[in-house]
Structure 1
């Protein structure tokens, strides 16, 4: 299913956090949101996974207005991994991952055989199956990140919303997670700070600045030297990646613009 954001605005205490944002993520595609700190990226994502009600605008999945659906139905359609998705209870990894099935269950219903296999496959894909019986409180930040992503995947959503999914991950796991998302066939809206990761992982990129969408298109169209200077205030040369041919940014460590 596609995800469509139409005219989304968020005003809090008289401050415009997001201004008239319209963005479409086609079915099975990955769209990245990038921008400086405070540009409205996470706020926009909170509206998509219904942690925040927008001041104006709508979010639609497959044509359905999410605000008109029950929370259960919305959670069946959209799964999220957030920056503040900490798990403070002393649960095991497999128990946390299994929580992803909650929108599909009633009460304390036990997992079916299919659901247990779904959880096992998600943990295997993300390299955390060996941690299944460990308490999440004993894990590193990167291990917890992969547990939370596994939980989102077993939700079997139509749309996956990710806020900095590579945060805390080492280079190997960053590449593995983004490579998995590229091949998963899910509709994905993801916030990334690393522009080179965004260029490698995303089909399209939207650039936010002061709450407004200032550019949208393919990585090659959007990630230009001029835009990086204007929006991020840094000097960068954009060169073809030697393996993929996509844009790669080489930053100058001189004074900021």
Structure 2
């Protein structure tokens, strides 16, 4: 399923947070949104999963205006794991993951055998089966993060939106999660702060600065030394990973550029 942001602008209290953003993700691609703090990444994502309504422009899912869908229809198409995703009640991990099926159920309808298998299989992929009976409020930040990703996957979306999904995760689980995204099936739009992980995990990168798209393309095309200096204010050499060939950044800890 294709995702298109067509000249999306979002303004609040006279301040424009995202300006004229056009972006396209083909079916099954992993698209990374990167940029400095406050560059509009999370705001753009909120427009995709309908937490915000664009001031101007359109979010299209397979050329259909997302705003024209019912909330249930859009929840079946788009799943999101956000920075502020929380669970206030101490449900078990298995119960939280199963909540991802809510857009597909009516009332108190029970999960089918296939859906129960989906919950179990997704928990296994995220390495959280051993937590199934634990209350989610007893988990560490990293464990909870994996539970919330699992809940989004159980939703079986066509488009998966992830806002900094590697927060709180140790190195192993960061790598496992981003490796999982590569063969997942849905079109993925993900915000990442670690540019090396973004370069390794994403098919294409979109670089935002002050709410505008300033570069897009493959990681090799987008992450140049000049862009890193101008947009992020850092000096770095771009090299190739010796095993994968992915561009990787070597930062210079120099106080003044």
TM-score (norm 2): 0.99
CA distance in 2, matches of 1:77, 1:163: 17
Alignment of 1:229-244 (within 5 A): 229-244=229-244
1:39-66 CA-to-partner distances (Å, cap 9, x unmatched) read 0000000000000111001111111111
Corresponding residue number in structure 2 for 1:94: 94
- Give me the whole-angstrom Cα distance separating, in 2, the residues matched to 1:238 and 1:153: 33
Q: Which residue of 1 aligns with 2:149?
A: 149
Q: Which residue of 2 aligns with 1:168?
A: 168
1:62 is aligned to 2:75 = no
Query: Distance in 2 between the 1:208 and 1:256 partners?
Result: 23
Q: How does 1:89-128 map to 2 (within 5 A)?
A: 89-128=89-128
Retained in 2: the 8 A contact 1:235–1:256? Answer: no
Alpha-carbon shift at residue 119 of structure 1 (Å): 0.3
Q: 1:4 to 1:22 in 2, by over 3 A?
A: same
Number of residues paired by the alignment?
Answer: 257
Alpha-carbon distance change, 256 to 44 in structure 1, aligned in 2, over 3 angstroms: farther
**Structure 1 residue 185 displacement after superposition:** 2.0
In structure 2, what is the Cα distance between the partners aligned to 1:164 and 1:62? Answer: 25
1:256 CA drift (Å): 4.2
What SS does the corresponding residue of 1:20 show, helix, strand or coil? strand
TM-superposed CA distance for 1:112, in Å, is 0.8
Report if aligned partners of 1:205, 1:218 keep a CA contact under 8 Å in 2: yes
Moved over 3 A (4+): none
Q: How many angstroms apart in 1 are the aligned matches of 2:118 and 2:185?
A: 16
Rate the CA distance shift 1:256–1:140 in 2: closer, same or farther, 3 A.
farther
SS, match of residue 184 in structure 1: coil
Instruction: Please state if 1:51 is matched with 2:84.
Output: no
Q: Which residue of 1 aligns with 2:27?
A: 27
1:196-230, CA deviations, whole angstroms, 9 ceiling, x for partnerless residues?
00000000000000000000000000100000000
CA distance in 2, matches of 1:246, 1:96: 36
2:82 corresponds to 1:82: yes
Give SS of 2:43's match. Answer: helix
Superposed displacement of residue 248, structure 1: 0.5
Whole-Å Cα distance in 2 between the matches of residues 37 and 205 of structure 1?
16
C-alpha RMSD of the superposition? 0.6
